[in-house]
Amino acid sequence: MLLPFRRRISGSLLKSNNRKMEVIVSQEIECICPNFVGACVEAQVENTPYCEALWTDIHALGDKYKAELTTETLKDLSGIAATRRVYKACGKDPSRYRPASEALIRRLLQGKELYQIDTLVDLINLASIQYGYSIGGFDADKFVGKTLTLGVGRKDEPYEGIGRGMINIEGLPVYRDLQGGVGTPTSDNERTKISLSTTHLVVLINGYDGREDQVCANAEFIQQLLRKYAGSDGGRYETFR
């Protein structure tokens, strides 16, 4: 049995191909993490291959973290620690399948550059490392059906991670549309990934620590970045549980 959000996405939010989308949190997620709170940002955007000013912000945050964190202490950040706990509760090793936010910050602390993809993906990565939440970014026009459901990956469930090929998502939290998985905290799916032609963006923030204030701050930060770097009015966001 699947349980709907206490608050559903409404209005134009999550409207794909002029079809209103509903987002559902499954009972299995609610049982594993009853304090879960998410946020969805939806916006019309203009993507570009590269934004120098955005990368100045990314490098500045990387320098700050190098002075404050280690590869061990970053695991204590609220959003990362909570996501790791959920992975363990689902039977997944978070040191083998790292949450994306942890992997990004860890890369910075090791003195490595983040992969430069395009402006939308890069700004979502900045938002993820700023707040420590694993964030999914999607071309909303590629969703199939009218519903996204947050559940847990099944044994042998097919899933093609972006740039990773087929990956094992058994035990990972996963958003699914009618065709299958579209996003996990470790990797989003090739099928619904952002491209330079993306104009309708949906971003899902996963607050497994239950801190609605921080989840909302993260969503508002994304809106600011979209206004600055993606030719957008920032769109709108709502929280869900």
pLDDT digits (tens, 9 = 90+) for 6-26: 344 433 345 555 555 678 899
pLDDT recorded at residue 3: 31
How far is residue 233 from each of residues 13, 42, 178, 236, measured CA to CA in Å? 14, 11, 30, 9
The pLDDT assigned to 146 comes to 83
pLDDT at 20: 55
**Residues of the chain scoring pLDDT < 70:** 1-21
**pLDDT tens profile 61-83:** 999 999 999 999 999 999 999 99
pLDDT on residue 140: 94
Whole-number mean pLDDT of the chain? 91
Q: What is the pTM of this model?
A: 0.92
